[in-house]
């Protein structure tokens, strides 16, 4: 294969919320959630409960930077929900917690985007767009909801997205929509493709804007490519593996709608007649083994 990965600046936006303004920035495959990772990894259920420390005492660092000791605290020291959680949470001794005063947040839960979403500076569709999140992206969401919007952690800051487009299940995050609307990134790849293959391209294109590029018909390809029945969805090997599997799951979920013959990714193949992922023989290279693209073909 000769497809070279390339980035696309434009984002086709299928959601009502993101349609009213151009998306300013397309984020990578997952949220910039270094802080979220720390919260989940270090805080775990402690932070999610919002209630901290009950036994021997707690030490908190106040806004002034001075450390004050709470002597004989009540049975449950409840943290002000407006006081945001620290980037560093240090367990010094049993029942002792140091919380720095930088503004972060307390209660978080894992959610998944079910559509391409704009992240707003405020809970309003006219508010400034901070960027965008691809479909099926894991995010850390707070419990704060204002109108149609829910607050999330975005690039170590707080932003707002449509609450209706968040789910606590990754299965729900697989988009259900299909489309024959022309894709904003162009129609060059549609040359000599069959209508069913174009249908797949136009459906995948707006839902997964982070895809590098697409490949379709080629004279020297396998029969599915020569006949215009196959589409290659190009990705960065390894780095975009998770994105590739999200796309593969989307395709297999809609296999009947797309009249799919088979899907191949990372040396594994799926067919409607045997709807499990089976290992394939080594073909000798990254592209030949489909580590840099999801290959999907339709029936004749």
> Looking at the domain assignment, is residue 41 inside a domain?
no
pLDDT tens for 133-171 read 877 788 999 999 999 999 999 998 999 999 999 998 877
Residue 175 pLDDT level (bands cut at 50, 70, 90): confident
Q: Are residues 21 and 125 in the same domain?
A: yes
Question: The CATH number of the domain where 135 resides is what?
Answer: 2.30.30.40
Q: What is the mean pLDDT of residues 73-102?
A: 41
Over 80: is that where the pLDDT of 81 sits? no
Greater confidence (220 vs 58) lies with 220
Query: What's the structural domain count of the chain?
Result: 3
Q: Are residues 231 and 125 in the same domain?
A: no
Q: Are 293 and 211 a contacting pair, CB within 8 Å?
A: no
Name the pTM for this structure. 0.53
Contacts of 202 (CB under 8 A, 6+ apart): 179, 180, 181, 182, 183
> Looking at the domain assignment, is residue 3 inside a domain?
no
Q: Are residues 270 and 194 in the same domain?
A: yes
Q: Are residues 22 and 137 in the same domain?
A: yes
Q: Are residues 76 and 166 in the same domain?
A: no
pLDDT tens for 13-25 read 444 454 333 333 3
Q: Are residues 227 and 82 in the same domain?
A: no
Among 131-145, 169-183, 206-220, 257-271, the range with the most confident prediction by mean pLDDT is 257-271
Q: Are residues 30 and 144 in the same domain?
A: yes
Specify the pLDDT at position 115.
79
Enclosing domain of residue 130: 16-35+107-173
Residue 84 pLDDT level (bands cut at 50, 70, 90): very low
Q: Are residues 168 and 212 in the same domain?
A: no
Specify the pLDDT at position 80.
47
Residue 297, H or E segment: strand 293-298
Over 80: is that where the pLDDT of 111 sits? yes
CA distance 108 to 76: 19
Query: What distances in angstroms separate CA 37 from CA 1, 67, 215, 257, one per listed residue?
Result: 37, 26, 35, 37
């Amino acid at each position: 294969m000769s497809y070279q990965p390339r980035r696309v600046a434009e984002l086709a936006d299928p959601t009502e919320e993101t349609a009213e303004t151009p998306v300013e920035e397309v984020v990578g495959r997952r949220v910039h959630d270094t802080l979220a990772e720390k919260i989940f990894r270090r805080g775990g259920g402690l932070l999610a409960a919002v209630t901290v420390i009950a036994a021997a005492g707690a030490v908190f660092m106040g806004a002034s930077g001075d450390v004050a000791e709470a002597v004989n605290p009540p049975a449950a020291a409840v943290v002000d929900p407006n006081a945001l959680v620290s980037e560093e949470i240090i367990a010094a001794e049993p029942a002792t917690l140091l919380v720095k005063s930088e503004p972060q947040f307390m209660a978080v839960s894992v959610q998944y985007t079910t559509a391409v979403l704009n992240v707003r500076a405020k809970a309003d569709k006219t508010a400034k767009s901070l960027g965008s999140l691809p479909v099926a992206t894991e995010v850390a969401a707070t419990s704060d909801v204002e109108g149609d919007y829910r607050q999330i952690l975005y690039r170590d800051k707080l932003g707002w997205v449509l609450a209706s487009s968040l789910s606590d299940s990754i299965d729900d995050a697989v988009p259900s929509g299909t489309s024959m609307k022309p894709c904003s990134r162009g129609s060059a790849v549609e040359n000599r493709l069959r209508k069913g293959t174009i249908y797949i391209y136009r459906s995948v294109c707006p839902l997964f804007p982070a895809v590098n590029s697409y490949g379709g018909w080629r004279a020297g390809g396998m029969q599915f490519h020569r006949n215009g029945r196959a589409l290659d969805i190009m990705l960065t090997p390894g780095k975009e593996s998770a994105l590739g599997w999200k796309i593969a799951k989307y395709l297999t979920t809609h296999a009947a709608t797309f009249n799919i013959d088979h899907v191949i990714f990372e040396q594994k193949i799926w067919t409607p007649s045997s709807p499990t992922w089976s290992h394939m023989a080594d073909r000798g290279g990254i592209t030949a083994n489909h580590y840099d693209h999801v290959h999907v073909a339709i029936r004749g």
